[in-house]
């Protein structure tokens, strides 16, 4: 567990946030108090540094606003008025309500709503998932992040193992496709800088001039949602100029003739019109990728939050497949590594049969007119803040406010969601519980060991699962296991990636790389555990979403601007810190970036307050006139709490909740049209009441 010295006990752990980096850390504990948190210098990816959001995480642990006892609501839903109650009473009440619904034959009227507030596997899902699985409650499909990209990449690669992001250090051409590495995946940036020092060129494809675009060699500022047209233009040039290896296409892929036919009409001039890029830039990039390899394409989820998000990721994956750069270390597609990690672990099997509902639809599900049968009567939220993170926020808040809905929220803080709870259960933070942390940005697993006893009366999510199981009289082996047994279970798969990785080794060393050699080439080398089949290419069509600058929606007349709500603040991590003044930017509350042309057309001044609205809602924020966005595109950061605007609403009051017809994948957050109106004479200080 670490070293004990006069300076205190050092406990090894890892960051729990939903961030690709999963940094390994060390907590120094003196007399039961955590005095220091630092990155583990030995970890190859973290290399001793945390990030601006987390290096003062102990302030969050000991924050005066931490929830320290169970509470019952005393005021109206949303008011945040609560009184403390004991655990026995809280568990008895929650279990009693659950029992009533189970006995009435309506276990599915209980909805487990959860996401990735912690990525430690036990506290994220394993324990509570089992509880809800055993009782047959409705499950939430956690599709809001990554699922769309997974489907897009899987349609080409089968199981979508991308390359190890660390191998990008060997690339000569690095394309950061719709990912803001320096903000969202900052420990990958040194890897990219290493490649650069050895001569690599870094290209960013993003409709916004992000911090990453500013640090890159080339920024291709595409029209939002036009990436499929760019892929087709690139493939057109690659094909026309004989830059593709026909032998590779024949051996390693299927379906090239269909993809080739799709690309034929997309000469660079046509692609230039659709993407807003100069035609010669498209020709240049195609040549560069084919002739200056290895070409590594890196993507996360930036382009998936759209109607055509899955097609964008599929297109980018087919481009990487056609290029054949996978044959060289540093070539290929680097995407989420979650597939590597989860396939190695013995994740508990779900029972079949319980209905699973797409999380983006929560507002709809909770509405009185919802056709769901049975309707949702008990909502149990853990590891998520749906009042802030879901699209069409007004609908979500109306749902949470519904009388007759009994809501339980397991939280560390009085979030915008917790304020709607009937019962709040206080939960431990990462330094207070045991967990196995996986990563979706690299190939290292980490054991997070508790450095502290739980603060106040907090209990880990897993303990809450066990307490409820006991109160419900459930007889299930996994619900009796403690956290260490559950982790040992996950590590017991016998999968080749786990060779040599034991609980004891993790406890001693803190972290371990999956047993995958550096430089292993997925889809080329035979890697035990990874199926190698031909990559599936096929026809590809550029279809912009309805609610976009190029779409067919009649809304465009009233709402002529497209809104992006990306992760933007270096000190925010989703909605974890948006309510904490010490994490907020010095310029004050939320802002909207708007291009000088659009600002001038509306008489908007830099720093003036503006109303941003559409049929779904409105928020008042400060305008920042910026060339970082393009004409027609405005950007507002995601992560601010609802109470940060005069309306008590954040950017998701505006965003589009639409989903694919088959109900899978993420909502079309970024396919959102708005209008922006300046508030006459409204300077920031007057307009913001929060
Ligand atoms: N500081 C910080 N770091 C984080 C997070 C955070 O909130 N704050 N969140 C974490 C989480 S949960 C995730 S999933 C990751 C996400 O990591 P990323 O995917 O890197 O982040 P996003 O901001 O979602 O999107 C990246 C970029 O996609 C661009 N984009 C939008 N539409 C398009 C398009 O049509 N085409 C192209 N090419 N690009 C487009 C946006 O402008 C944005 O700059 O970040 C993680 N890291
Ligand atoms: N407009 C817009 N909306 C977005 C996005 C966007 O880019 N734009 N991004 C989307 C994406 S990619 C994601 S991943 C989602 C994120 O959605 P969420 O996963 O809901 O967001 P987080 O803020 O990461 O975590 C939620 C809560 O988990 C709690 N938490 C942390 N640790 C623990 C624990 O150990 N136990 C319990 N019970 N709770 C804990 C935190 O206090 C926090 O309030 O948001 C999505 N929404
Ligand atoms: S949020 Fe990400 S970068 Fe920051 S410490 Fe956690 S894992 Fe590392
Ligand atoms: Mo995410």
Structure tokens of 410?
A: 């397991």
Higher-confidence position of 408 and 682: 408
Ligand in nearest proximity to the CA of 384: 2
Q: Is 22 near ligand 3, meaning CB less than 6 Å away?
A: yes
Residue 122 is given by DSSP the state I
Domains of the chain, earliest start first = 71-143+346-430+449-498 (3.40.50.740), 147-335 (3.40.228.10), 554-685 (2.40.40.20)
Work out the mean pLDDT of the chain and round it to a whole number. Answer: 96
- Supply 60's token pair: 């969050």
CB-based contact 424:458 (threshold 8 Å): no
Which of the ligands is closest to the CA of residue 651? 2
pLDDT at 349 (0 to 100): 87
Give the SS3 label for residue 280. Answer: helix
**CA–centroid distance, residue 435 to ligand 4 (Å):** 20
Output the CA torsion sign for 317, 320, 323, 326. Answer: negative
Cα 198 to Cα 498: distance, rounded to the nearest angstrom: 33
Ligand 2 pocket, residue 144 CB under 6 Å: yes
Instruction: For residue 38, report the distance from its CA to the centre of ligand 3, in Å.
Output: 11
Q: Which of 490, 651, 535, 485 is nearest to 157 (CA)?
A: 535
In tens, the pLDDT along 106-117 reads 999 999 999 999
**Beta partners for residue 10, in sequence order:** 28
Ligand 3 atom index nearest CA of 22: 7
Q: Which residues contact 541 (CB under 8 A, 6 or more apart)?
A: 228, 262, 311
The HSE-up count of residue 520 (CA atoms within 13 Å, CB side) is: 18
Alpha carbon 372 to chain centroid, angstroms: 27
Q: Which ligand is nearest to the CA of 52?
A: 3
Percent of the chain with pLDDT over 90: 93
Mutate to test the pocket of ligand 3, among 18, 20, 54, 55 (most ligand atoms within 8 A of CB): 54
Checking if the pLDDT of 664 tops 50, the result is: yes
Ligand number nearest to the C-alpha of 123 = 2
Q: Three-state SS string across 598-666, please? A: HHHHCCCCCCEEEEEEECCEEEEEEEEECCCCCCCEEECCCCCCHHHCCCCCCHHHCCCCCCCCCCCCC
Could you tell me which of 149, 465, 135, 477 has the C-alpha nearest to residue 299?
149
DSSP 589-600: S-EEEE-HHHHH
- Give the mean pLDDT of 156-183: 97
* pLDDT value at 681 more than 70: no
- Whether 151 lines ligand 1, by a CB cut-off of 6 Å, is no
**Would the CB of 116 count as within 6 Å of ligand 3?**
no
pLDDT digits (tens, 9 = 90+) for 375-421: 999 999 999 999 999 999 999 999 999 999 999 999 999 999 999 99
Phi first, then psi: what are they for 143, rounded to 5°? -100, 5
For residue 183, the ligand 1 atom closest to its alpha carbon is 1
What's the confidence (pLDDT) of residue 460? 98
pLDDT tens by residue, 53-111:
999 999 999 999 999 999 999 999 999 999 999 999 999 999 999 999 999 999 999 99
- Dig out the tokens for 359 from the structure: 């999380």
**532: confidence class by pLDDT, cuts 50, 70, 90:** confident
**Ligand 3: which residue has its CA nearest to atom 3?**
51
User: Which of 395, 384, 388, 385 is CA-nearest to residue 361?
Assistant: 395
d(CA 377, CA 500): 47
Q: What is the pLDDT of residue 688?
A: 36
pLDDT > 50? residue 689:
no
Look up residue 184 and give its two tokens: 């969202």
Rg (CA), the chain: 25
pLDDT value of residue 682: 58
Cis previous bond, 566, omega within 30? no
Q: Ligand 4 centre from 18 Cα, in Å?
A: 6
Q: Which of 68, 117, 388 to mutate to test the pocket of ligand 2 (most atoms within 8 A of CB)?
A: 117
Give the total residue count for the chain.
690
Which uninterrupted H or E stretch holds 261? Answer: helix 256-263
Six-digit token string for 682:
């409204």
User: What per-residue confidence (pLDDT) applies to 2?
Assistant: 54
Q: Which ligand 2 atom is nearest residue 574's CA? A: 23
Distance CA 207, CA 220 (A): 8
- Phi and psi for 353 in degrees, rounded to 5? 105, -30
Query: What is the structure's pLDDT at 690?
Result: 32
Angle at Cα 362 formed by Cα 356 and Cα 364, nearest 5°? 110
> What global pTM score does this model have?
0.97
């Amino acid at each position: 567990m670490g070293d004990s010295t006069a300076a205190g006990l050092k406990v090894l752990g890892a960051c729990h946030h939903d961030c690709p980096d999963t940094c390994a850390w060390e907590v120094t504990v003196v007399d039961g108090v955590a005095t220091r948190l630092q990155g583990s210098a030995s970890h190859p990816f973290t290399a001793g540094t945390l990030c601006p959001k987390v290096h003062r995480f102990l302030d969050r642990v000991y924050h005066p606003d931490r929830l320290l006892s169970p509470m019952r609501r005393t005021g109206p839903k949303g008011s945040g008025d609560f009184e403390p109650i004991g655990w026995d009473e809280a568990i008895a009440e929650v279990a009693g309500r659950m029992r009533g619904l189970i006995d009435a034959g309506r276990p599915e009227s209980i909805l487990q709503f959860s996401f990735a507030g912690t990525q430690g596997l036990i506290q994220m899902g394993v324990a509570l998932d089992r509880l809800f699985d055993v009782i047959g409650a409705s499950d939430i499909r956690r599709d809001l992040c990554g699922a769309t990209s997974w489907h897009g990449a899987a349609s080409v690669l089968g199981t979508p193992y991308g390359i190890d992001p660390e191998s990008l250090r060997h690339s000569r051409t690095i394309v950061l496709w719709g990912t803001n590495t320096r903000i969202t995946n900052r420990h990958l940036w040194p890897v990219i800088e290493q490649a650069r020092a050895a001569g690599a060129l870094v290209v960013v494809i993003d409709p916004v001039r992000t911090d990453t675009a500013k640090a890159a060699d080339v920024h291709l500022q595409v029209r939002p949602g036009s990436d499929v047209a760019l892929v087709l233009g690139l493939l057109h040039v690659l094909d026309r100029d004989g830059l593709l290896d026909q032998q590779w296409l024949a051996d390693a892929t299927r379906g090239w003739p269909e993809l080739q036919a799709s690309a034929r009409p997309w000469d660079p001039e046509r692609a230039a019109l659709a993407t807003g890029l100069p035609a010669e830039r498209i020709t240049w990039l195609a040549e560069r990728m084919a002739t200056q390899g290895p070409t590594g394409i890196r993507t996360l989820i930036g382009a998936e939050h759209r109607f055509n998000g899955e097609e964008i990721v599929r297109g980018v994956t087919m481009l990487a497949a056609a290029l054949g750069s996978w044959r060289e270390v540093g070539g290929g597609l680097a995407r989420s590594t979650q597939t590597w990690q989860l396939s190695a672990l013995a994740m508990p099997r779900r029972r079949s049969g319980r209905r699973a509902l797409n999380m983006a639809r929560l507002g709809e599900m909770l509405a009185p007119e919802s056709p769901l049968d049975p309707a949702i009567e008990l909502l149990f939220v853990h590891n998520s803040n749906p009042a802030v993170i879901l699209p069409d926020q007004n609908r979500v808040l109306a749902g949470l406010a519904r009388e007759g809905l009994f809501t339980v929220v397991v939280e560390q803080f009085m979030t915008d969601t917790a304020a709607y709870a009937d019962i709040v259960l206080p939960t431990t933070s990462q330094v207070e519980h045991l967990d196995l942390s996986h990563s979706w940005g690299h190939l290292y697993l980490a054991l997070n060991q508790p450095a502290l006893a739980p603060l106040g009366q907090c209990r880990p999510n897993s303990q809450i699962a066990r307490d409820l199981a006991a109160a419900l009289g459930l007889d299930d082996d996994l619900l009796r296991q403690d956290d260490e047994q559950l982790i040992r279970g996950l590590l017991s798969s016998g999968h080749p990636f786990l060779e040599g990785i034991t609980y004891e080794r993790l406890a001693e060393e803190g972290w371990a790389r999956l047993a995958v050699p550096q430089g292993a080439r997925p889809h080329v080398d035979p890697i035990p555990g990874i199926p190698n089949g031909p990559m599936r290419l096929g026809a590809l069509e550029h279809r912009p979403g309805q609610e976009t600058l190029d779409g067919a929606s009649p809304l465009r007349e009233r709402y002529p601007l497209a809104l992006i709500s990306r992760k933007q603040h270096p000190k925010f991590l989703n909605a974890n810190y948006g309510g904490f003044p010490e994490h907020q930017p010095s310029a004050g509350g939320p802002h909207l970036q708007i291009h000088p042309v659009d600002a001038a057309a509306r008489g908007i001044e830099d720093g003036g307050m503006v109303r941003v609205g559409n049929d779904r809602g409105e928020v008042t924020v400060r305008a920042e006139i910026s060339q970082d966005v393009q004409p027609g595109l405005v950007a507002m950061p995601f992560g601010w709490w609802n109470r940060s605007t005069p309306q008590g609403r954040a950017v998701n009051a505006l965003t589009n909740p639409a989903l694919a017809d088959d109900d899978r994948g993420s909502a079309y957050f970024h396919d959102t049209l708005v209008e922006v109106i300046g508030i006459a004479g409204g300077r920031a200080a007057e307009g913001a009441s929060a």
